[in-house]
Amino acid sequence: MESTAAYLERLRPEGGKRSSKRDLIVNVFLRQEGHLSAEDLVDLIRQEDQKISRATVYRTLQWMVDAGIARKVDFGEGRFRFEHSYRHPRHFHLICKTCNTSSEFLSSDIEALLEEVAAARHFAARQSVLQIYGTCEACRTGRRPPAAPVPTDVLFARDALRIAIATERSGLEFYARAARTTKNAHGRRVFRKLAEEEQEHLGTLERRYQALLAQHPELESWPTFLFFKGAANGLFAAGADELSRGVDDRQALRIGIRCERGSHRFFKRYGEQFEDSEGQRIFLEFADEERNHLDLLIREYRALAGRRTAKTRQAAAPRAKATRRAGAARKRGRP
C-alpha cells in the first residue's frame, strides 16, 4: 500500500521548494480523518508550532488543493472545509445539521444518472457535488456511532469486494443452472467450465475479503459506503430469473454476456477514477477478470451461433437474425 510520503512525492508540484512549515501543515492535515475548516487546522497546527501564521495555513491549503492532495468542500456553512484525497475516493456527503458531522457515500447508480442528465443537456460535466442535509442516526436515537473510524478507501474496497462476490456468486448460480438444464452435451461442458471459473474467482475474492476483514476487525459494523444495483442485484438476478423461465443455450449465453459486460463496466469505471491506493489495483484486476469472462462467453457464443447457423442452413433458413447478432457480438469482442 502506498505510504503518505510516496503519495506526497508523487503529487508535489514541480519547481517548489521544501519547507519545514509546509511539511508540518501537510502532515498534520493528512493525519486527520474528517472535514477540517481552515480554523480547525490552525488550531491543530498551533499545538505543535505556536508561531505558524494563519496565512501560511491558508496558503498551504490552496497549495494542496492545486496539487490534488486536498479537496475544498462547501457544506453551506459560509466557510470551506477541506478533506484530503490520500486513500480517499470521490464521494458524496450526508450532513447532519444537528451535530455538524458528515458521513460519506458513493452511488454508482446516481453517478450513471448524472452522466445521463449532463449528456441530455450537452453539458460537459467536470465535477458533481451531492449533499443530503438532515439529522443523523446518532442524533435522533442518542446511540453513539462505532468508535474507531475506518478509512474510506477500506470501506470502498469492502463494498467493491462485496459487490464482486455477489456478482460472482449469482454468476456461478446462473452458469450452474444453465449447465444443469441444457440438453446439449457441448453446452453442458461450456457452462460447467464457466461455473468452475466463477467458483475459482469467487474463492479468490472471498479470501481477499477475509484478509481485509482480518486487517480491520470492526469493518463489518460500518454501513454501506458504495451503493450499486447494476451488477449482482440487477443484471445477474434478472438473468437467473429469465433462465428459470426456460431459455435455450444461445439465449443463456447472451444473458451471460450482458451480465458480464455490465459488471466489467462497473469495475472499469471505478478502477479508472481511483486516484490512489489499493482501490485502483483491486478494481482494475476485477475489470480484467470480468473482461476475461466476457471474452470467453463471446467466443462460445460465436461458436455456438456458427454451429447453429450451419445446422439450420441445412434444414430451413430463418436464422438470419441470430447470425447478425453473433456478428455484432464479434465486433465488440477482442480481435
Partner DNA sequence: CTAGGTGCAAATAATTTGCAGAGGC
Partner DNA sequence: GCCTCTGCAAATTATTTGCACCTAG
Q: Contact region for a second copy (CB under 8 A) — 35-43, 113-121, 252-260, 313-321?
A: 113-121
59 binds, among DNA, a second copy, none (CB under 5 to 8 A by kind): DNA
Pairing of strands 70-74, 80-84: antiparallel
Whole-angstrom distance, CA of residue 325 vs CA of residue 331: 10
Q: Is 140 exposed, middle or buried (0-12, 13-18, 19+ CB in 10 A)?
A: exposed
The answer to whether 287 and 271 are in contact (CB under 8 A) is yes
Whole-angstrom distance, CA of residue 33 vs CA of residue 24: 16
331 near DNA (CB under 7 A): no
39 near DNA (CB under 7 A): yes
27 binds, among DNA, a second copy, none (CB under 5 to 8 A by kind): none
User: Which own/partner pairs from 10-14 qualify as long-range (CB within 8 Å, at least 24 positions apart)?
Assistant: 11/67, 11/68, 11/69, 12/67, 13/63, 13/66, 13/67
Whole-angstrom distance, CA of residue 303 vs CA of residue 297: 10
| Residues 6 or more apart in contact with residue 303 via CB below 8 angstroms | none
Whole-angstrom distance, CA of residue 266 vs CA of residue 256: 15
Whole-angstrom distance, CA of residue 27 vs CA of residue 47: 13
Q: Which residue has the cell 472545509?
A: 81
Q: Contact region for DNA (CB under 7 A) — 55-63, 186-194, 277-285, 314-322?
A: 55-63
Question: Measured from the CB of residue 230, what is the shortest distance to a second copy in angstroms?
Answer: 12
38 binds, among DNA, a second copy, none (CB under 5 to 8 A by kind): DNA
Give, as ranges, the residues between 62 and 121 that touch DNA (CB under 7 A). 62-63, 78-80
Residues in binding contact with a second copy, number by CB under 8 A: 39
> How many CB atoms are closer than 10 A to CB 291?
16
Whole-angstrom distance, CA of residue 18 vs CA of residue 28: 16
Question: Measured from the CB of residue 31, what is the shortest distance to DNA in angstroms?
Answer: 18
Q: Which residue lies nearer to DNA by CB, 67 or 112? A: 67
Q: Which residue lies nearer to a second copy by CB, 27 or 135? A: 135
Binding marks (x or -) toward a second copy, 218..257, rule CB under 8 A? -----xx--x-----------------x------------
113 near a second copy (CB under 8 A): yes
Give, as ranges, the residues between 60 and 99 that touch a second copy (CB under 8 A). 74, 76, 94, 96-97
Binding marks (x or -) toward DNA, 6..25, rule CB under 7 A? ---------xxxxxxxx---
- Site of interaction with DNA (CB under 7 A): 15-22, 37-39, 49, 51-56, 58-60, 62-63, 78-80
- Site of interaction with a second copy (CB under 8 A): 74, 76, 94, 96-97, 103, 105, 107, 109-110, 113-114, 116-118, 120-137, 140-141, 223-224, 227, 245
